[in-house]
Structure 1
């Protein structure tokens, strides 16, 4: 096994393009998925690359380096629109996991129950991919192709997550349900991001995770909530409305029917939580 720890993004891309190394950041997904005593093959550690770390304001919004840890996100001074992402950050495993695990690793692992994905979908987030042919940008929804599948090409590394300026104006809330309160894989999770005009909803962004192969935005329900008051919202968030957008799955943690009921109630609570 060859271990590399490049100091720049071009160096990382060059090393990744010339071989079959697996990218290592916090390792909180990579190591548990390894059945052997050691990691197989070459390892490319990206944690020393400044361009992959930190949260920066840009002319277009907010840039979050892919190797930024969950604890850094949770403790950052961010607008209320990112409160849901910070709530998710505080529920990604225990404190040791939050100190090591990264937002980019969460996305690249592409678990249907990845906590970071619904809050980012509700922020209209996009991803920046660096590769041998330069950088390219994709909407987050286009980056996630299915369970453990992403749009990363040969030699590409996830460099950053971008939040557009227009998405920084709202309020947000994240909720998840598991078999216990902490350190659990979700049965269902939701993120709500609302822009309010007085008591009324001027814009809604809603996402549900852990109910299907990938987390899902709910554009039909978002449109239905727009213009209504927060008091009217719970009556509009129905299982029928969610069922039209979701394809809940049966697995060892819950049935599809239970997931649909849980996601509906969580979403009602998350929308109400945006008023707090």
Structure 2
């Protein structure tokens, strides 16, 4: 017989996780569609009563986004410009109705290669807070999402927050998504970029691409090429750089070759937006 529990205190939820196998229900926007016509045969731990897990807080060292925080919550919260890519990604998560209930942590735990939040959180150096009744541990987002629908979450753990170090919440960022239509679409490719520019020179560069590999990935090779360069050199560097970190596949939304070419273009667009370069100037040859 399956069990259903809806605790109102985090300690209660963690204790239940330590007693048996549970499937965690947060926003439910992925939970119910995944069931299809199948009967529910798992114990359900409904965490929608855990108010402590919803909201965004600032400390001396980091920003903390509670695991139940919705995309709408994020969009409405005042945050530094480095979070602009994450807010832009939030507006791409399904419909407004979905954004109102879907949780940010749920987007990560679902571990889809096309998870809209992953690239934008990666360029912020985000880490995932995992708690059990006995301990708390922190994993970089890249170490948490292991593959398609696979995470490092243990059976007795739940995600309680996503943390963004203050050191990475600097500069400006942008997010670009490519899909077959404008709204309610699974992406063909998407990119997030965060840059810190000092006196026209790149002091920090963080770039991540989603939907072009089993998990979203940072383009470490391209990032290193951009460091120390004048912003006006960036479009040419992006155009010529190899992006070997990507391993796109052929599917109904696009071929691997198309995805690779598209990824380069949307990386360029995200970079132009994050650095303040105007794409019209680039097209006119004013930036080289």
Alignment check: 8 A CA contact 2:222 2:241 kept: no
Match of 2:209 in 1: 208
Structure 1 stretch displaced more, 29-38 or 214-223: 29-38
Question: Using the alignment, how far apart are the partners of 1:164 and 1:51 within structure 2?
Answer: 20
Max Rg structure: 2
Question: Using the alignment, how far apart are the partners of 2:232 and 2:34 within structure 1?
Answer: 45
Match of 1:248 in 2: 248
Consecutive unaligned residues of structure 2, counting only runs of 5 or more, are 277-288
Alignment check: 8 A CA contact 2:24 2:46 kept: yes
2:50 paired with 1:49: yes
Match of 1:220 in 2: 221
Match of 1:59 in 2: 60
Question: Using the alignment, how far apart are the partners of 2:69 and 2:177 within structure 1?
Answer: 22
1:2, CA displacement in angstroms?
2.6
Residues 89-238 of structure 1 aligned to structure 2 (within 5 Å): 89-238=90-239
Alignment check: 8 A CA contact 2:72 2:99 kept: yes
Question: Using the alignment, how far apart are the partners of 2:97 and 2:120 within structure 1?
Answer: 22
Match of 2:72 in 1: 71
CA RMSD of aligned residues (A): 1.2
Question: Using the alignment, how far apart are the partners of 1:68 and 1:32 within structure 2?
Answer: 21
1:38, CA displacement in angstroms?
5.1
Question: Using the alignment, how far apart are the partners of 1:9 and 1:105 within structure 2?
Answer: 17
Consecutive unaligned residues of structure 1, counting only runs of 5 or more, are none
Alignment check: 8 A CA contact 1:61 1:165 kept: yes
Alignment check: 8 A CA contact 1:129 1:152 kept: yes
1:102, CA displacement in angstroms?
0.5
Alignment check: 8 A CA contact 1:31 1:39 kept: no
Question: Using the alignment, how far apart are the partners of 1:245 and 1:63 within structure 2?
Answer: 29
SS of aligned partner of 1:32? helix
1:41, CA displacement in angstroms?
2.2
Alignment check: 8 A CA contact 2:21 2:155 kept: no
Match of 1:260 in 2: 260
Alignment check: 8 A CA contact 2:14 2:133 kept: yes
Question: Using the alignment, how far apart are the partners of 2:233 and 2:240 within structure 1?
Answer: 16
SS of aligned partner of 1:62? strand
Question: Using the alignment, how far apart are the partners of 2:197 and 2:133 within structure 1?
Answer: 43
Structure 1 stretch displaced more, 199-208 or 12-21: 12-21
Alignment check: 8 A CA contact 2:86 2:117 kept: yes
